Amino acid sequence: MAAQYFADENARRNYLIRKIVGKVFLYLFITLFALFILTPFIFMVWGSFVDKEAFKTFTSTGDFAKLGELSVNNYADIFSSTYKNSLDGSTTPRPSFAQYFLNTFIVAISSTLVTVVTAVLAAFAFARLEFKGKNALFAGLLATMMIPGEMMVITNYQTTIQLDWKYTFSALIFVHGVSVFYIFYLRQAFQQIPNELYLAAKVDGVNDIEYLLKVMIPIAMPTIVTILILSLMGSWNSYIWPTLVANGNWKYNKDYNMQLVSNGLMSLFSSEVSSGYDAVKIAGSMVVTAPLFVFFLIFREYIMRGVSRSGIKG
Amino acid sequence: MTATNQALTVEDVQAILAEKHSTSHLINRKRHVTLPQWATAWIVLIPALIFLVLFMFYPILNTFFMAFIQDFRWVSGAGSFAFGNFIQGCFNWKGKFENNLIPSFGFENFVIVLKNEVFLNSILNTALLVVIEVPLTIIVALLIATFLNSIKALKGLYQTIFFLPYVTNTIALGLVFQMLFASNTGGLMNILLKNLFGIDPINWLSSAEVRIGSTALPPATKFHQGVVIVIYALWNGLAFKILVFMSGLATIDKQYSDAAKVDGSSSFTIWRRITLPLLSPQILYITITSFIGAFKMYTGVMSVYSAAGKGAYYFGGERGEDWITVVGWIYKQLDLSQDKPGIAAAGSLVLLSIILVITAVQFAVSKRRVHY
Q: Which domains does chain B have, with CATH numbers?
A: 116-369 (1.10.3720.10)
Query: Mean pLDDT over residues B50-79, rounded?
Result: 76
Query: Mean pLDDT over residues B170-194, rounded?
Result: 87
Q: Which domains does chain A have, with CATH numbers?
A: 97-309 (1.10.3720.10)
How would you label B205-220 residue by residue, b for 16+ Cβ within 10 Å and e otherwise?
bbbeebebeeeebebb
Q: Is the pLDDT of residue B77 over 50?
A: no
Of B29 and B10, more confident: B10
Name which of B58, B238, B240 is nearest A311 (Cβ-Cβ).
Answer: B240
Name which of A233, A239, A311 is nearest B171 (Cβ-Cβ).
Answer: A239
Mean pLDDT of chain B: 81
C-alpha closest to that of B70 among B115, B38, B35, B102: B102
Determine, for residues A239 and B167 on separate chains, whether the beta-carbon distance falls below 8 Å: no
Where does residue B251 rank: exposed (0-12), middle (13-18), buried (19+ CB within 10 A)? exposed
Least confident piece of the model among B144-158, B196-210, B218-232 = B196-210
- Chain B: residue nearest A153 by CA? B59
- As a whole number of Å, the end-to-end CA separation of chain B is 80
For residues B321 and B302, the answer to whether their CB atoms sit within 8 Å is no
Query: Mean pLDDT over residues B187-214, rounded?
Result: 83
Q: Is the pLDDT of residue B345 over 70?
A: yes
Of A311 and A101, more confident: A101
Where does residue B132 rank: exposed (0-12), middle (13-18), buried (19+ CB within 10 A)? middle
What is the pLDDT at residue A301?
Answer: 83
What is the pLDDT at residue A74?
Answer: 85
Q: Tens digit of pLDDT for each residue in B220-233?
A: 888 999 999 999 99
Query: Mean pLDDT over residues A297-311, rounded?
Result: 78
Q: Is A130 left (phi over 0), alpha (psi -120 to 50) or beta?
A: beta
Chain A CB contacts of B251 under 8 Å are none
What is the pLDDT at residue A312?
Answer: 45
Query: Mean pLDDT over residues B324-332, rounded?
Result: 91
Q: Tens digit of pLDDT for each residue in A216-246?
A: 999 999 889 988 988 998 888 889 899 888 8
For residues A119 and A181, the answer to whether their CB atoms sit within 8 Å is no
Angle at A49 between CA A46 and CA A51, to 5 degrees: 120
- Chain A: residue nearest B336 by CA? A244
What is the pLDDT at residue B341?
Answer: 79
Q: Cα(A286)–Cα(A289) distance, rounded to whole angstroms?
A: 5
Determine, for residues A154 and B307 on separate chains, whether the beta-carbon distance falls below 8 Å: no
Tell me the CB-side half-sphere exposure of residue A240, using CA atoms within 13 A. Answer: 26
C-alpha B244: how far from its chain's center?
15
Confidence of residue B327 (pLDDT cuts 50, 70, 90): very high
- Phi then psi dihedrals of residue A249, to 5 deg: -95, 155
Q: Cα(A48)–Cα(A51) distance, rounded to whole angstroms?
A: 8
Determine, for residues A244 and B335 on separate chains, whether the beta-carbon distance falls below 8 Å: yes
Is the pTM above the cut of 0.80? yes
Distance from the Cα of A54 to chain B's closest Cα (Å) equals: 12
Q: Cα(A242)–Cα(A176) distance, rounded to whole angstroms?
A: 11
Of B17 and A113, more confident: A113
Query: Mean pLDDT over residues B17-25, rounded?
Result: 54
Q: Is the pLDDT of residue B16 over 50?
A: yes
Instruction: Report the 10 Å Cβ neighbour count for A270.
Output: 17
Q: Is A264 on the interface with B (CB under 8 A)?
A: no
Chain A CB contacts of B49 under 8 Å are 122
Q: Tens digit of pLDDT for each residue in B253-279?
A: 888 888 888 888 888 888 888 888 888
Q: Cα(A54)–Cα(B28) distance, rounded to whole angstroms?
A: 78
H helix or E strand, kind and range, residue A254: strand A253-257
Query: Mean pLDDT over residues A43-57, rounded?
Result: 86
Name which of A151, A286, A289 is nearest B352 (Cβ-Cβ).
Answer: A151
Determine, for residues B176 and A44 on separate chains, whether the beta-carbon distance falls below 8 Å: yes
What is the pLDDT at residue B9?
Answer: 61
Of B6 and B195, more confident: B195
Q: Cα(B202)–Cα(A165) distance, rounded to whole angstroms?
A: 46
Least confident piece of the model among A95-99, A162-166, A303-307, B78-82 = B78-82
Q: Tens digit of pLDDT for each residue in A179-210?
A: 998 999 899 889 988 888 888 988 888 888 88
Confidence of residue A1 (pLDDT cuts 50, 70, 90): very low
- Chain B: residue nearest A202 by CA? B27
Q: Is the pLDDT of residue B365 over 60?
A: yes
Determine, for residues A272 and B309 on separate chains, whether the beta-carbon distance falls below 8 Å: yes
Q: Is the pLDDT of residue B350 over 70?
A: yes
Query: Mean pLDDT over residues A18-30, rounded?
Result: 89
Where does residue A161 rank: exposed (0-12), middle (13-18), buried (19+ CB within 10 A)? middle
Q: Which residues pair with B216 in a beta bridge?
A: B211
Q: Is the Cα torsion angle A46, A47, A48, A49 positive or negative in sign? A: positive
Least confident piece of the model among A7-16, B64-73, B354-363 = B64-73
Q: Cα(B143)–Cα(B149) distance, rounded to whole angstroms?
A: 10
Distance from the Cα of B47 to chain A's closest Cα (Å) equals: 6
Q: Is A272 on the interface with B (CB under 8 A)?
A: yes
Confidence of residue B1 (pLDDT cuts 50, 70, 90): very low
Using alpha carbons, list the distances in angstroms from residue A277 to A59, B138, B232.
12, 37, 23
Name which of A206, A208, A273 is nearest B37 (Cβ-Cβ).
Answer: A208
Q: Cα(A186)–Cα(A183) distance, rounded to whole angstroms?
A: 5
- Chain B: residue nearest A272 by CA? B309
Using a pLDDT cut of 90, give the percent of chain B over it: 29
Distance from the Cα of A150 to chain B's closest Cα (Å) equals: 7
For residues B299 and B306, the answer to whether their CB atoms sit within 8 Å is no
Determine, for residues B161 and A37 on separate chains, whether the beta-carbon distance falls below 8 Å: yes
Range 6-35 of A in CB contact (< 8 A) with B: 22-23, 26-27, 29-30, 33-34
Q: Cα(B291)–Cα(B354) distance, rounded to whole angstroms?
A: 11
Q: Tens digit of pLDDT for each residue in B150-177?
A: 888 888 899 999 999 988 999 999 999 9
Distance from the Cα of B93 to chain A's closest Cα (Å) equals: 22
Determine, for residues A37 and B162 on separate chains, whether the beta-carbon distance falls below 8 Å: yes
Chain B CB contacts of A36 under 8 Å are 235
Mean pLDDT of chain A: 85
What is the pLDDT at residue A308?
Answer: 72
Helix axes A134-144, A180-191, angle to 10 degrees: 130
What is the pLDDT at residue B98?
Answer: 47
What is the pLDDT at residue A314?
Answer: 32
Of A126 and A306, more confident: A126
Distance from the Cα of A258 to chain B's closest Cα (Å) equals: 17
Distance from the Cα of B238 to chain A's closest Cα (Å) equals: 9
For residues A299 and B167, the answer to whether their CB atoms sit within 8 Å is no
> What DSSP character marks residue B212?
E
Query: Mean pLDDT over residues B278-283, rounded?
Result: 88
Longest Cα separation, chain B: 122
DSSP H helical ranges for A50-96: 52-61, 73-79
